[in-house]
């Protein structure tokens, strides 16, 4: 992170992981809302719960890989923006990492402490172990935490996207394009 030359762009694996987890996190939020509020049948709802849990474990693994990559290489230089803007951007980015892990951990806790233990079958391949015993009080707390984390992520993603678009269209810098795959943008000059 500190010292040495900063790369101009994010590394290709990090870019891939960024967009992949981004899409999957949005999917999980929509998925969670649908399975709770769309009024579907019990069978469909059960299947949606199972796929929600399976996808979230994929996101957990991808996020862990992403954190390792993120801190094993230097980040591109900070954009020339106001200090508070850079601080805010960094807080939002850090919060997205933290809340992603918090949402998945609390969801895992919800599943584990549920008074009705339902085995989590990871894409019907194997059963993911529980991390706690059934406990109604902990279940209620974990459910609340999961809800708060999910809605916070939704809000922060909006802020994160707004920030990226602001850099691209108002500041006209490379903050957005250096996170885009090279095959599309390699031959185009970025910035003003």
Partner 1 sequence: MIATPGMLTCRMTMEAPVTRVELLKQIETPHPALRATFSRIGRLKTPVFRRATREKGKPLARLRERGWGERYDSSKPQCAANSRRAARALLALAFLQPPAPAFAADNWRIDSARTTIAFSIDAVGFPRTEGRFRRFEGRISVDFDHPNRSSVIFHVQSQSVDVGSPSFGDYIRSAAFLDSAGHPSIDFVSKSVERTDDHTVRVTGDLTLLGVTKPIAVDVVVLRGASGGRQRLEFHAETRIDRLAFGMNSGYPLVSREVDLKISSAAEQI
| Binding of partner 1 by 47 (CB under 8 A) | yes
Nearer residue to partner 1 within complex by CB, 11 or 54:
54
| Binding of partner 1 by 137 (CB under 8 A) | no
Instruction: Classify residue 124 as left (phi > 0), alpha (psi -120 to 50) or beta.
Output: left
- Classify residue 92 by burial, with Cβ atoms within 10 Å: 0-12, 13-18, 19+: middle
| Binding of partner 1 by 115 (CB under 8 A) | yes
Nearer residue to partner 1 within complex by CB, 30 or 127:
127
Nearer residue to partner 1 within complex by CB, 107 or 163:
107
| Binding of partner 1 by 121 (CB under 8 A) | yes
The β-bridge partners of 128 are 120
| Binding of partner 1 by 40 (CB under 8 A) | yes
Closest CA to 137 of 108, 158, 165, 109: 109
Q: Which of 10, 14, 28, 50 binds partner 1 (CB under 8 A)?
A: 50
Task: For residue 69, report the phi and psi dihedrals to the nearest 5 degrees.
Answer: -65, -40
Under 8 Å CB-to-CB from 175, ≥6 apart: which residues? 79, 164, 167, 168
How many residues line the site for partner 1 (CB under 8 A)? Answer: 19
Task: For residue 127, report the phi and psi dihedrals to the nearest 5 degrees.
Answer: -95, 125
Nearer residue to partner 1 within complex by CB, 10 or 139:
139
- The nearest distance, CB 52 to partner 1, in angstroms, is 13
- Applying CB under 8 A, which residues contact partner 1? 36, 39-47, 50, 114-119, 121, 124
């Amino acid at each position: 992170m500190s010292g040495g030359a900063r790369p101009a762009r994010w590394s290709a694996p990090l870019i891939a992981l960024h967009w992949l987890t981004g899409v999957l996190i949005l999917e999980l939020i929509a998925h969670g809302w649908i399975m709770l509020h769309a009024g579907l049948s019990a069978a469909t709802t059960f299947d949606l719960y199972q796929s929600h849990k399976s996808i979230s474990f994929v996101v957990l693994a991808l996020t862990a890989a992403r954190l390792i990559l993120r801190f094993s290489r230097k980040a591109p230089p900070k954009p020339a923006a106001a200090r508070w803007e850079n601080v805010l951007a960094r807080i939002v980015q850090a919060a997205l990492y933290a809340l992603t892990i918090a949402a998945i951990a609390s969801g895992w806790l919800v599943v584990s402490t549920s008074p009705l233990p339902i085995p989590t079958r990871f894409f019907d391949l194997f059963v993911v172990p529980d991390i706690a015993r059934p406990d109604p009080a902990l279940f209620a707390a974990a459910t609340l935490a999961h809800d708060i984390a999910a809605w916070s992520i939704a809000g922060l993603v909006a802020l994160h996207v707004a920030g990226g678009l602001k850099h691209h269209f108002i500041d006209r810098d490379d903050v957005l394009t250096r996170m885009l795959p090279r095959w599309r943008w390699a031959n185009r000059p970025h910035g003003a």
